[in-house]
Copies of this chain bind each other. A is one copy, B any other.
Amino acid sequence: MLDLAILGLLEERGNLHGYEIRKQLRDGLGLLANVSFGSLYPALARLEAAGALEAIETSTPPDAATAEQVPPTGSLSGERAVLRARHRAGRRTHGRRSRKVYRITDVGRETFAALLTQPGGADDSRSFGLRLAFARHLAAPARLALLEHRRAALSERLAEVRAARGDRALDSYARAVVEHMADGVERDIDWLDHLIDAEQSAPGRGAPARP
Contacts and interface: CB of A to CB of B under 8 A. Distances in A.
A35 B173 CA distance: 22
A29 to B, nearest CB: 6
A49 interface: no
Contacts of A114: none
A205 interface: yes
A177 B133 contact: yes
Contacts of A13: 169
Contacts of A206: 172-173
A180 B173 contact: no
Nearest to A207: B171
Interface size class of A (residues with CB under 8 A): 35 or more
A163 B26 CA distance: 11
Interface string A172-211: 1110111011101001000100010000000001110000
Interface string A14-27: 00000000000001
Contact of A178 (B29, B176, B180): B29
Given A29-B178, A133-B173, 14 more contacts: A12-B169, A13-B169, A28-B167, A28-B169, A29-B177, A30-B181, A31-B177, A133-B174, A133-B177, A134-B174, A135-B173, A172-B205, A176-B195, A184-B187
